[in-house]
Amino acid sequence: MSVTAAKGFTAAGIAAGIKENGNPDLALVVNHGPRRAAAGVFTSNRVKAAPVLWSEQVLKSGELAAVVLNSGGANACTGPKGFQDTHATAEKVAEALGCGAGEVAVCSTGLIGVLLPMDKVLAGVETAAAQLSEHGGEKAAIAIKTTDTVHKTSVVTKDGWTVGGMAKGAGMLAPGLATMLVVLTTDADVDSGTLDKALRAATRVTFDRVDSDGCMSTNDTVLLLASGASGVTPGHDDFADAVRQVCDDLGQQLIRDAEGASKDIKIEVVGAATEADAVEVGRSIARNNLLKCAIHGEDPNWGRVLSAIGTTSAAFEPDRLNVAINGVWVCKNGAVGEDRDKVDMRYREVHIVADLAAGSETATIWTNDLTADYVHENSAYSS
């Protein structure tokens, strides 16, 4: 159901010919109101793609009528011409829908440093606008895939109102955010301030804590649009919970589909003096290539966890660190703990607990193992 699960939205996904293989590559999501409230969060990479620069600007009004998304090209590092192309795409959508270009967000994903084939993009917008449907959410989710093997959607329905969404992303997944495009919609009757607050709170503990390969994208975008079509205004906490639930589900789907991965690794940092310490330690472990290789080989190599913790500025004493892998405390007080042979690593999910013994704060970061398939996928094809 994706972005059309909530009332007041239509969507479409089509093959515009941007991708050479003819797969679907252009999606359109339209908010029919009565509200057009919106919020967004964007990559913290300082090299931002043209569509990110554009969408950040249009979001300042707190309103969006539509989002147009393309795969097959990131339109990043494309100079003034790239920005003109994004603008022209928004104008084309505005013309087709009868709204202003300043109410249209644009998202792109694909190879950096290549201009989009604008004749195909603009013709594709017309085709998509003609196919908009209340059942178009699934097709839209399919059209934004790049190296994703599956499309990702999620829906939470509450008492008379719904939050739904779609996501794409498989590589270049890292905090603050991933190569990841996410569009969430809701028919709750809430203003853009509420959307913004709920979205930032949700991404901080979901997408921002997914770190597949440590590589931050130029194009990451998460948008949340509210139509108000349900006529229900939920309580702030209920609404924030629903948004977080959808973000968490989509984030998990991203990790499970990460390029070449054979293991999903949940890194739970406990006993931290601050939440920031817990996040820093979790990220450092998540980015340690040697550990990621060891997990791929089903080797509970806790020494690599300790060496990763040791590179951080978090509060801890080396001789008080404890590490459990899949429930076995293989490291106690910074030294050898239970027998590493007791660790069962046959299953896809691997759970690492790193106890800093320095306080009571925690954070959970998700990552994947590093595999020959990841290397192959990212060396054999430009992406």
Under the rule (CB under 8 A), what is the footprint of its own copies?
44-48, 74, 76-79, 81-82, 111-115, 171-172, 213-218, 287-290, 293-297, 299, 301-304, 306-312, 316, 318-319, 321, 330-331, 333-336, 369-372, 374-382
* Of 160 and 318, CB closest to its own copies: 318
* Of 47 and 276, CB closest to its own copies: 47
Element (H, E) at 380: helix 372-380
- 153, 162, 179, 218: the catalytic one is 179
Q: Which residues define the annotated binding site?
A: 146, 168, 179, 259, 378, 383
End-to-end CA distance of the chain: give it in Å, rounded: 28
Among this protein's residues, is 179 annotated catalytic? yes
Catalogue the E-assigned strands of 180-299: 181-186, 221-226, 264-272
- Listed in sequence order, the residues at least 6 apart from 190 whose beta carbon sits closer than 8 Å to its beta carbon are 35, 37, 198, 226, 228, 233, 234, 239
* Of 103 and 211, CB closest to its own copies: 211
* Of 2 and 322, CB closest to its own copies: 322
- Listed in sequence order, the residues at least 6 apart from 383 whose beta carbon sits closer than 8 Å to its beta carbon are 110, 111, 146, 147, 171
The answer, yes or no, to whether the previous bond of 318 is cis (omega within 30 of 0) is no
Cα separation values, 119 from 21, 22, 139, 179, 252, Å: 17, 15, 22, 25, 36
Q: Which of 279, 203, 211 is nearest to 244 (CA)?
A: 203
* Of 232 and 357, CB closest to its own copies: 357
Spatial distance between the Cα atoms of 174 and 326, rounded to a whole number of angstroms: 24
Element (H, E) at 13: strand 9-14
Q: Nearest distance from residue 364's CB to its own copies, in Å? A: 22
User: Which residues are known to be catalytic?
Assistant: 179
